[in-house]
Structure 1
């Protein structure tokens, strides 16, 4: 098994010549149970679905609210103090009392769940990500990184085919930003001739996997 080391702070490009291997690698981050792949950090086995965030192709329909839904609920619940919880409990009781009154008045064959669950109330409010207008693939990457920082989301963000949509200046800017944030991100690409053009950028590491599944780290074979 070959080991691929990601930068601790910066962009790790993984260029794959074999189409099936590229598909398998990307699928691993989405379904987890793909043979012959392991995700680890400091010798600890990690779970792709829990410890990474696979965004996919920047040209696809990317919904930040769907991506961060669970994190939004989690951080909101964590920030509720005792006073806020008491206020929400009173409001929840008032809502249930009003609906119960309608049921009794109309003699309706309906009953309500009277259990108090703040998480259900938060979901009912449908909180969403507050971001600037996202109009370009570059905006998507920046928004993902910004929201992850604000939510203290430590997952590894993974993008596919970014250089179909980014220019070199944008790549340099992203590399500088993630180095400043001390964050690691991964870009998957189908191998292309021009990958050497940006292999020497600061904050960018290149891993090339040839058609025979041999991996080269910055043009050096990885044993």
Structure 2
């Protein structure tokens, strides 16, 4: 897969190999962030054919502070949980639904207004009523948040290009090494942006590494 923002030549992102794009060029960095977040002025291609950025790229920005991090999974998680229910659980939920409706219907008789109740049986309505959601605050540290996010994309969107930002500030060298191995094991397309003027680090030896300096000079490794 390739990501292009003109006038730079394409940046290659391989599945299973973390790609790092580092820059201290404010203009290049801001143009790239705007392009990624708005799906504008950037091109994503695969096998030399342009592909839809909306369908094939997700820009997660700072996953540690992103409040909508798990929003793309809500419907898929709902469907998955409902599919995992066995017959006994479905029967019990049906009975509970009838009991709840019976209680409300009984209370409605106290009002001098003709009322009815929806008899439709819907697991999806019951699921939404339960208020089940991903509890991000229960995940202890930044590395674990990243781990949950990458595993979720592997499960639900394994072919998307995942772009992360402001990440290395949260991780120590051991966690960065583990992250590189995790991306290899999950076989995901992952690009991490790093706004920094630090010299090339040996931590990235197993990565595909690019840097664009303040003069727009590019280094590929």
Q: TM-score, normalised by structure 2?
A: 0.75
Counterpart of 2:75 (choices 54, 59, 70) is 70
- SS of residue paired to 1:122: helix
Match in the other structure for 1:209: 212
Counterpart of 1:141 (choices 142, 146, 151) is 146
RMSD: 3.3
Q: 2:182 aligned with 1:181, yes or no?
A: no
Q: Give 1:90 deviation, angstroms.
A: 4.4
Count the aligned residue pairs: 212
Partners of 1:193 and 1:83 in 2: how far apart?
59
When residues 58 and 47 of structure 1 are mapped into structure 2, their CA distance, relative to the original with a 3 A threshold, is: closer
Conserved? CA contact 2:58–2:163, under 8 Å: yes
Partners of 1:110 and 1:25 in 2: how far apart?
57
- SS of residue paired to 2:29: helix
Q: Give 1:207 deviation, angstroms.
A: 1.9
> Which stretches in structure 1 are left out of the alignment for 5+ residues?
219-223
Moved over 6 A (4+): none
Conserved? CA contact 2:165–2:192, under 8 Å: yes
Conserved? CA contact 1:68–1:129, under 8 Å: no
What CA deviation, in whole Å up to 9, does each residue of 1:16-63 have, x standing for no partner?
Answer: 33324323433444333x2x2123333351333x44443322552556
Q: TM-score, normalised by structure 1?
A: 0.74
